[in-house]
A and B are shown apart, each in its own frame.
Chain A
Amino acid sequence: MAAPASTSIPVAHRLRDAGIAGLVAMALAVPFLGLRTVNLDQGLVVQANLAYVPLAGAVVFLGRLVLGLLAAPLAKAVAPLAAWRPPAAAQRLRAWGGPLLVLAAVALPFLPFANRYVIDLGTTALIYILLATGLNITVGLAGLLDLGFAAFYAIGAYTCALTTTQLHWGFWPALVAGGLASSLFAVLLSLPILRLRGDYLAIVTLGFGEITRIVILNWQGLTGGPNGVSGIARPTLFGLTFDRRAPAGGHTFSEVTGIAYAPEHRLIFLYLVILALTALAAYTVARLRRLPIGRAWEALREDEIACRSLGINPTMVKVSAYASGALMGGLAGCFFAARQGFVSPESFGFMESATILAIVVLGGMGSQAGVIIAALFIVVLPELARGFADYRMLAFGLAMILIMIWKPGGLLSGRLPTIRLSNAKPKSVAEAA
């Protein structure tokens, strides 16, 4: 990865390399910078302004040269970072990491700096953590690349939206329906693609993701097409709503508890519900990894032929991985719909699938803690960088490239064994020996 000793590369070689980069930049600069369309009275005309072309060439030439000189010292400087492993003492904290994180997250809305914006951001981060936890089963554990995960997100969201608006269901039954619908859809989708793997699987899942979005966009009668669905039911606490005024025959949270009405209550409640569900999902996945089904997922990722030779039915393993992942995607979709109160097809485009996949890959495939860190990174960082306006996505992209250079396996790339022989107590050594 890191170039060995910069001094070994001759200057002539560097100059030639930079020269080639400069020439390429100049060739690209002719259409991009050299030609400009100007709106004049007689219409749109193309003006040539070739002064920029040599300038672009010179900038790229120098930039390439400087980068070449800096690359090796930079790589050397960050080498210890790549090799960094948590100290042994941190291993003991690992068991406490989950509960502590949940406690901190529960406390967040009650901290002094927590305003609407912070809680909303936290909710978004939790939705992405839930989504990525689901995708992590399919991609990280079972090794089935899925570029269309937003389809399951969309199905969950639309199931929730349509059952609450058309059938007048409450939020909670709609949540269950959303998760199950998404899971069922995943089973149907997974059947035709079971034989595919690798690149082909990725392309087909990409197609399914787009098909789902386009069907939603065009099925005007059911989904409202590009107009979306609005008026989605908000979650209730044992039948209590978080509105200012109680609906006919109902009560509000502030009426019953005596706490003065505040619009933030609904946000905080939604945040806590998503937090509870996400924590439950993360715990479930951690448990599943230790069960036969979870081990079969990982074994399938490692070697499908060896799985078959041990009597494991790869079809069942794949379908269960897709269905479990989609279940969480569908639940996340329901929360998304309930939070916005509105869904439309453009929320579930390819960018969404790519973002969720980026969280899984960036976190380190298969790692739950990695998913949480990466989701916070991907959701919170662009928000923090809002001050940079248009450049924030550029900075974000750069940050991702740097992470992938330093930690090519993701932030937490080490796989934790699901069981250790040293921890399992021997039953009776004398009898076994």
Chain B
Amino acid sequence: MTEPLLDVQGLTMRFGGLLAVDGVDLTAERNRITALIGPNGAGKTTIFNCLTGFYKPTAGRLLLRHPARGPIELQKLKGYGVARTGVVRTFQNIRLFPSMTVLENLLVAQHQALMPRSVFSFAGLLNLKGWRAAEEAAVETARDWLRRLDLLAVADEEAGNLSYGMQRRVEIARAMSTNPLLLCLDEPAAGLNPRETRALAELLVGIRAEHGIGILLIEHDMGLVMDISDHIVVVDHGARIAAGTPAEIRNDERVIKAYLGEPDADDVATAGGGAH
């Protein structure tokens, strides 16, 4: 892969006097899992928010090489426009549509594909054949992802009534049913038990193998990160301090210092655990 799918150069985000992200470079490639790690408050989620259009970066260039639309500078798009290019995210604190069913959540995700087929809702109102076919196809896409994430049994349940682990899976299924180019996952393993985390790892590896998309991952579970990542970028205090393969990162002195220097006992434990 000569040209990376996503090329972030000099990403800077300033909130008043606070420099949250300071000139971070980052690349994400197709068929690769790129992990973004760093101690709490390092600016990982801010980078995600800039990338997915929720913040407008103070400086920097976010270049997406879209196979059909050519190179797109994401920082110039409106918030919802980024998702339309195929850069789709999940959230650290899950954001489902809680009183809609799981299936409805997945159909809302396909809004962009379905909207033109409903022809300003007229074809839909008249229940024309073209619209019915489009809706059936959307349901099939949803059914496919529900099956892969083992959610078929709860497809007609309200999303808000599901367990935490299931809600995480629904959010991934929802993101995947938009047919993304780059899937950005913000701490997908947070709150999952070891068994669920293993299933998540298998799923991500499966998606990488089959769908030809890039995966960008923020994660604190070092075991998961070291197991499945192809490339790791470490940030601390808003700046990139290291990048490389899991083996390189594991032995990088700056990374060890950044984690051990944190007073947060949890981070030390997870960083130490990953080193074995």
Interface residues of A (CB under 8 A from B): 284, 287-288, 290-293, 295-296, 298-299, 302-303, 305-314, 415, 417-422, 424, 426-427, 432-433
Contacts and interface: CB of A to CB of B under 8 A. Distances in A.
Contact of A302 (B52, B79, B100, B146): B100
A427 B133 CA distance: 11
B53 A308 contact: yes
A288 B98 contact: no
B125 A287 contact: yes
A296 B99 CA distance: 13
Nearest to B122: A291
Contact of A309 (B88, B110, B136): B88
A419 B104 contact: yes
Nearest to A299: B108
11 contacts: A288-B125, A293-B121, A295-B104, A296-B111, A306-B91, A311-B84, A312-B112, A420-B101, A421-B143, A424-B139, A427-B140
A421 B53 contact: no
Interface in B102-127: 103-104, 107-112, 114-115, 118, 121, 124-125, 127
B140 A421 contact: no
A307 B84 CA distance: 12
Given A309-B52, A417-B104, A295 B88 contact: no
Name the residue in A295, A303, A309 with the highest tally of chain B Cβ atoms < 10 Å from its Cβ. Answer: A309
A295 B142 CA distance: 15
A424 B138 CA distance: 11
Contacts of A305: 54, 91, 95
B139 A308 contact: no
A288 B115 CA distance: 12
B174 interface: yes
Given A302-B100, A308-B53, A312-B80, A421 B125 contact: no
Contacts of A313: 78, 80
A432 to B, nearest CB: 6
Contacts of A307: 80, 108
Given A310-B174, A415-B99, A424-B139, A295 B108 contact: yes
Contacts of A419: 101, 103-104, 107, 139
Nearest to B140: A427
B174 A291 contact: no
Contacts of B158: 415
Nearest to B102: A421
Contact of A284 (B84, B125, B156): B125
B107 A424 contact: no
Contacts of B54: 305, 308-309
Contacts of B118: 291-293
A346 to B, nearest CB: 37
A303 B96 contact: yes
Contacts of A426: 140, 143
A287 B124 contact: yes
Contacts of B99: 302, 415
Nearest to B115: A292
B217 interface: no
A311 B175 CA distance: 11
A311 B109 CA distance: 8
B185 interface: no
A288 B121 contact: yes
A366 B212 CA distance: 41
B83 interface: yes
Contact of A421 (B89, B95, B97, B103): B103
B152 interface: yes
A311 B156 contact: no
Contacts of B101: 417, 419-420
B144 interface: yes
Given A308-B53, A310-B88, A313-B80, A292 B124 contact: yes
Contacts of A293: 115, 118, 121, 124
B31 to A, nearest CB: 23
A337 B121 CA distance: 30
A432 B143 contact: yes
Nearest to A422: B156
A408 to B, nearest CB: 15
B98 A291 contact: no
A308 B95 contact: no
A6 B155 CA distance: 43
B132 to A, nearest CB: 11
Given A308-B83, A421-B103, 5 more contacts: A293-B124, A308-B53, A310-B108, A311-B80, A419-B104
Given A298-B100, A299-B108, A310 B125 contact: no
B111 A298 contact: no
Nearest to A312: B111
A310 B103 CA distance: 15
Interface string B131-171: 00000100110111011000010011010000000000000
Contact of B95 (A290, A298, A306, A422): A306
B127 to A, nearest CB: 8
B66 to A, nearest CB: 14
Contacts of A422: 155-156
A305 B54 CA distance: 9
Nearest to A292: B114
Contacts of B97: 298-299, 302-303, 306
A312 B104 CA distance: 15
Nearest to B98: A302
B12 interface: no
Contact of B156 (A296, A302, A420): A420
Contacts of A291: 118, 121, 124-125
B34 interface: no
A299 B114 CA distance: 15
Nearest to B177: A310
Contact of A433 (B52, B147, B155): B147
A418 B108 contact: no
Contacts of B115: 292-293
A432 B96 CA distance: 26
B136 A427 contact: yes
B147 A432 contact: yes
A419 B82 CA distance: 28
Interface string B173-186: 01000100000000
A298 B159 CA distance: 13
A416 to B, nearest CB: 10
